[in-house]
Amino acid sequence: MARLQSIQRRAFLRGMGGAALALPHLNAMANAVSEDSVAMRMVCVGLNFGFVPQLFFPEETGANYQLSDRLMPLKKLRHEFTVFSGLDHGVNGQGGHGGVHAYLSGVLSKNSAGMPEANISVDQKAAQIVGAKTRYPSMQFASGSDPNNMISWSASGVSIPPVTNVESIYNLLFQKVDPAAQSSVKAKYASRQSILDLVKIDANQLKRKVGVRDRQKLDRYFNSVREVEKRIEQSSEWIDKPKQRVNYKLPSGAPRLNFVDRVPLYYDLIKLALETDSTRVVTLALADIGANLGGFNITRGYHQLTHHGKVPEYLTELSVIEQFHMQQFARFLKQLQAVQEPNGKTLLENSMVLFGSGMGNASSHSNKNLPLILAGGGFKHGEHRSYFKDEAKKKSTPGSQLFISMLQRFGVETERFGSASSTLTGLEFRK
């Protein structure tokens, strides 16, 4: 039998006169994806207070832009990332801190009721095709419990609680499971499964007795139940499989460390999670710095500093925190770049890393012009790309277009996400 020729996923039929028609998904396209044996990963890092815009965004666009003060820690990596301006999720209904949770979804929770997948976030949309291929279809981490910085959302419109304790994250990934505990977990999974079966039977009977709005609420509840059911099934497949072993130890008392000492540990664990293929989708929400001013050499709280009103003393101290975040991000990218994978590429080339915020300018409580950086993932990088639609920089492009590009790169067959229905123009793959 003749070997089928592989076709790239974004293939087109071209006719006379330059007309082009997009091809549907074909088996040959699947062959093209499967020939690359190393899976794509996705990491999304979100800061709840964003960055000072004039210190973050470069003045020039294109490949020859001058790095802004905030981007200087990324100097040696400038060809590995793209800076975006002119992207956000619109202003209708956005409410400063109350709009930050739409960072990865493009949709406010309160506006999600009529949408097919509610305000699902890009990480959870990607995780849908991972399933039980990894121990965890996705993992959600956070530096603290900030209700405004819940950035990962399910298809039923429910925020997914992150794990904040670094020791708990380490144990989830690498701690050997006691055989007795395994039996207990199996019993709990079986019990939960039977309870869910009973709930669905009762709920289906209830649906016949209520009105339209109540049925809609029940449908959303059913979706949530199905998601739990699916997670139980996926987790059950991994109960008897040993966890990966790594040569990495957390420092003693890690959960009690200051913010400046804990943040690198989150990044270390994400890198190890990707490298061991324990998961392929991770979110990290970095919120308030906590007690003791987080260990920074500053005199005011983070939230207070973000409402700087352009006061020089506030901006100076705020820059200490913002520069730390960028330094840690640069360190993480270098860690991924140092790992060589079986397909000859680095872990960074095989991982899309989104870094940014659902807050544009915390001082004015603006959710416009979000500070966004995308690194790795096999995209062509090295530019500052502006997506403002007018010279006054008031009309922006839907940020969810970037998410569609990321999802397609991840392998998700979709042309829509949130309110967007097209990919981000100009963002291309490396050849």
Q: Are 99 and 108 in contact (CB under 8 A)?
A: yes
Q: Where are the beta strands (DSSP E) in 205-344?
A: 281-286
- Residue type at 383 in one-letter notation: E
Q: Give the pLDDT confidence score for residue 230 in this predicted structure.
A: 64
Compute how many other C-beta atoms are within 10 angstroms of the C-beta atom of residue 284.
24
Characterise 256 by phi-psi region: left (phi > 0), alpha (psi -120 to 50), beta (else): alpha
3-state SS, residue 410: helix
Token pair in block for residue 289: 């710095």
For the chain, give the percent of residues with pLDDT over 70: 79
pLDDT of amino acid 33? 40
Q: Do 411 and 40 meet the contact criterion of CB atoms below 8 Å apart?
A: yes
Residues with Cβ < 8 Å from 30, sequence gap 6 or more?
Answer: none
pLDDT at position 186: 52
Question: Do the beta carbons of residue 53 and residue 69 sit within 8 Å?
Answer: no
The count of other CB atoms within 10 Å of the CB of residue 300 is 14
Taking residue 223's Cβ as centre, other Cβ atoms within 10 Å add up to 17
Tokens of 77: 């990596």
- Could you please state the CATH topology (level 3) that the domain comprising 22-174+255-410 is classified under: Alkaline Phosphatase, subunit A (3.40.720)
pLDDT of the residue at 163: 93
With a cut of 50, list the residues of the chain below it in pLDDT.
Answer: 1-35
pTM (predicted TM-score): 0.83
Phi, psi of 59 (to 5 degrees): -75, -35
Q: Which residues lie across from 340 on neighbouring strands?
A: 346
Element counts in the chain: helices (H) and strands (E) = 10, 11
pLDDT tens, residue by residue, 1-23? 333 344 444 444 444 344 444 44
Domain boundaries, the chain: 22-174+255-410, 177-241
CB-side exposure of 27: number of CA atoms within 13 Å? Answer: 2
Counted residue by residue, the chain has a size of 431
How many whole angstroms from its chain centre is CA 362? 21
The helix/strand/coil state of 417 is strand
Judge whether 121 and 152 are in contact, CB under 8 Å. Answer: yes
pLDDT of residue 236: 63
Give whole-number Cα distances, 1 to 4, 328, in Å. 9, 52
Q: Are 104 and 122 in contact (CB under 8 A)?
A: yes
